[in-house]
């Protein structure tokens, strides 16, 4: 499990959170991402993924010693309101009026050794596979088809006018899958249909939902591994390595090329090839689980990649936010302005 806990309070609380899910609720923690930047002004104390039946559900946890006033968790409440998953506050003592407020808002709380409330129909004496109610099932923004369609709209907003059949052909999806993905996006108001026209929802909401899905589920199933160069000249000459073989720079490398501002420390390469031997040979890379170079499969149409050999700016923007690194967040703001300017006339 990837732990990134950096203070005594979190080290003290995580075993209690783990015990809550595993022993009291019978739920497995699939992954602990630790502290991940969520938006410009908020980093949760814990960002987890739990298994509920067949669903993997993201969970953010806010940790306090005691909660006696709602102002202590206002920023957390504001973030959970736009979070596609479960939010929980955990403390030794929580005032009853605050617990009532959290219940009304559909936010979970964990008063250690006393009381637990989670915002779906789950009883503490249930068996190992509790069934979430429709509010969790309807979240639905997890499948590759949904994030592929949303990415296509953001990168090529003219496609909002395409028919379902055209979208299916462009994205290599069945017509039924495309219709379902479109409906999912409309349910969560990332796409808004008025008459025969479609519009984009709020940019920040699109980013929040897309990047968390991308981080939590897609990157793990598409990663082809980490690598290191055969010699360190790679890091000084990387821009001279024009990637061919249907592969593109992502992450910090793409941000460096697109903004001329960031000096990359970590490198991401996206490829359409399942066999990466020729790519490793071209770039002189070797397998290394701790390497600074990651290779990942592309799942979007090649037409939305940039001519300069980088992935779509929206993908790079979300990767920078997901990194939680200050210099990346700063660079992300540069890309954000370009993206918002491009999409403004397509928003509802």
How far apart CA 327 and CA 334 sit, in angstroms, is 12
In this model, does residue 235 exceed pLDDT 50? yes
pLDDT classification of 142: cutoffs 50, 70, 90: very low
Q: pLDDT, tens digit, for every residue of 188-208?
A: 889 999 988 999 999 998 998
Cβ(104)–Cβ(117) below 8 Å:
no
- Going by C-alpha positions, the residue among 132, 167, 128 that lies closest to residue 149 is 167
How far apart CA 311 and CA 78 sit, in angstroms, is 31
Cβ(37)–Cβ(43) below 8 Å:
yes
How far apart CA 311 and CA 307 sit, in angstroms, is 9
Q: b or e along 151-168 (b: 16 or more beta carbons within 10 Å of the residue's beta carbon)?
A: bbbbbebebbebeeeebb
Report the alpha-carbon angle 322-345-308, nearest 5. Answer: 55
Q: What's the confidence (pLDDT) of residue 32? A: 79
Percentage of the chain exceeding pLDDT 70: 83
Q: What's the confidence (pLDDT) of residue 137? A: 29
Q: b or e along 70-87 (b: 16 or more beta carbons within 10 Å of the residue's beta carbon)?
A: eeebeebbebbeebbbbb
Q: What's the confidence (pLDDT) of residue 290? A: 92
Cβ(151)–Cβ(314) below 8 Å:
yes
In this model, does residue 84 exceed pLDDT 50? yes
Least confident of 8-17, 110-119, 199-208: 8-17
How far apart CA 31 and CA 216 sit, in angstroms, is 9
Cβ(33)–Cβ(215) below 8 Å:
yes
Q: What's the confidence (pLDDT) of residue 3? A: 39
Greatest Cα-to-Cα distance within the chain, rounded to the nearest angstrom: 63
pTM above 0.85, yes or no: no
SS3 252: helix
In this model, does residue 141 exceed pLDDT 60? no
Least confident of 36-45, 282-291, 318-327: 36-45
336 vs 220: which has the higher pLDDT = 336
How far apart CA 52 and CA 132 sit, in angstroms, is 7
pLDDT classification of 20: cutoffs 50, 70, 90: confident
Q: pLDDT, tens digit, for every residue of 319-331?
A: 998 888 889 999 9
In this model, does residue 316 exceed pLDDT 90? yes
Q: Which span out of 92-96, 239-243, 310-314 was modeled with the highest average pLDDT?
A: 310-314
Beta bridge partners of 347: 200
Cβ(59)–Cβ(110) below 8 Å:
no
Beta bridge partners of 52: 55
Q: What's the confidence (pLDDT) of residue 188? A: 84
Q: What's the confidence (pLDDT) of residue 132? A: 31
Tell me the pairing of strands 267-271 and 293-297. Answer: parallel
Q: How many C-beta neighbours within 10 Å does residue 23 have? A: 9
Percentage of the chain exceeding pLDDT 90: 38
In this model, does residue 253 exceed pLDDT 80? yes
Q: What's the confidence (pLDDT) of residue 211? A: 84
Q: What's the confidence (pLDDT) of residue 323? A: 85
In this model, does residue 161 exceed pLDDT 80? yes
Cβ(310)–Cβ(316) below 8 Å:
yes
- Going by C-alpha positions, the residue among 188, 181, 155 that lies closest to residue 342 is 155
Span 27-36, average pLDDT: 76
In this model, does residue 130 exceed pLDDT 50? no
pLDDT classification of 1: cutoffs 50, 70, 90: very low
Cβ(271)–Cβ(246) below 8 Å:
yes
């Amino acid at each position: 499990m990837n732990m990134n806990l950096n203070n005594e309070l979190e080290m003290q609380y995580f075993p209690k959170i783990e015990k809550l899910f595993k022993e009291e609720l019978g739920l497995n923690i699939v992954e602990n991402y630790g502290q991940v930047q969520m938006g410009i002004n908020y980093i949760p104390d814990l960002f987890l993924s739990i298994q509920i039946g067949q669903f993997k559900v993201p969970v953010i946890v806010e940790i306090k010693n005691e909660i006696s006033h709602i102002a202590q968790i206002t920023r957390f409440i504001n973030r959970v309101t736009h979070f596609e998953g479960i939010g929980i506050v955990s403390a030794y003592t929580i005032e009853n009026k605050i617990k009532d407020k959290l219940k009304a808002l559909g936010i979970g709380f964990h008063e250690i050794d006393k009381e637990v409330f989670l915002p779906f129909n789950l009883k503490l004496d249930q068996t190992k596979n509790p069934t979430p109610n429709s509010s969790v099932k309807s979240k639905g923004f997890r499948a590759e088809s949904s994030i592929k369609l949303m990415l296509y709209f953001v990168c090529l907003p003219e496609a909002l006018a395409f028919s379902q059949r055209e979208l299916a052909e462009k994205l290599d999806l069945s017509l039924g899958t495309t219709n379902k993905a479109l409906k999912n996006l409309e349910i969560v108001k990332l796409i808004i249909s008025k008459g025969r026209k479609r519009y984009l929802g709020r940019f920040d909401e699109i980013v929040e939902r897309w990047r968390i899905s991308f981080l939590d589920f897609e990157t793990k199933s598409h990663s082809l591994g980490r690598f290191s160069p055969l010699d360190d000249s790679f890091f000084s000459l990387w821009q001279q390595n024009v990637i061919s073989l249907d592969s593109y720079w992502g992450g910090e490398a793409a941000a460096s090329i697109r903004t001329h501002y960031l000096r990359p420390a970590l490198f991401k390469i996206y490829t359409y090839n399942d066999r990466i031997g020729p790519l490793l040979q071209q770039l002189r890379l070797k397998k290394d689980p701790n390497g600074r170079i990651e290779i990942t499969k592309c799942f979007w149409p090649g037409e939305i990649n940039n001519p300069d050999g980088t992935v779509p700016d929206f993908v790079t923007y979300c990767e920078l936010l997901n990194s939680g690194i200050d210099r990346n967040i700063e660079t992300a703001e540069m890309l954000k302005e370009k993206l918002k300017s491009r999409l403004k006339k397509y928003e509802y």
